[in-house]
Amino acid sequence: MKFSIMATERTNNFTDPAIQAKITGLWEKNSEAVKKAAEKGMVIACVYHEYESNYQGDYAVSLCFEETEQADFDTEKYTWKKYPIDRRDAQGILTTWRQIWSEEENQQLQRRYSFDFEQYAPDGEVTIFIAIAESDKEQLFS
């Protein structure tokens, strides 16, 4: 799957007091484009990239749409670990990110820090995809 950028913000999970406003703003400013893409059955993605270091450092977050030709991000270049979001949990996305960070802290996950993304499927399903080191492939099947 390939994604093209609609808009980007730079932020930090722990030191940017405006993080929520920045991410919400990406969705609000691009709501018409998101709506049109969804109507066409396209996947929308929130892509995290240009990592300064790890999840505690600065990074760029881009709202993207699925693309078939030229794109800014190509998921075929990496191996991914999938984290489905529990839609019954109002804080499901944040809960899942905290799980990912915990796995990383406990050395259960070796992230590549190339780019990661939240996939928003047309059917409403949300899944977080984390690019992992090739040596972590066995995690995909455990």
For the stretch 81-97, pLDDT in tens is 999 999 899 999 999 99
All domains in the chain, ordered by first residue: 2-141 (3.20.80.10)
Task: Indicate the pLDDT class of residue 135, thresholds 50, 70 and 90.
Answer: low
Which neighbouring-strand residues pair with 118? Answer: 46, 128
Distance linking the first and last C-alpha atoms of the chain: 24
Q: How confident is the model at residue 70 (pLDDT cuts 50, 70, 90)?
A: confident
d(CA 81, CA 104): 12
Q: What percent of the chain has pLDDT above 90?
A: 88
Q: 141 or 108, which is more confident? A: 108
Average pLDDT for the chain: 93
**Burial (CB count <10 Å: 0-12, 13-18, 19+), residue 76:** exposed
Between CA 61 and CA 90 the distance in angstroms is: 21
> Max Cα separation, the chain?
41
pLDDT at res. 89: 94
- Structure token pair of residue 31: 């709501």
**Average pLDDT for 62-87:** 94
Q: Per-residue pLDDT averaged across 21-33, rounded?
A: 96
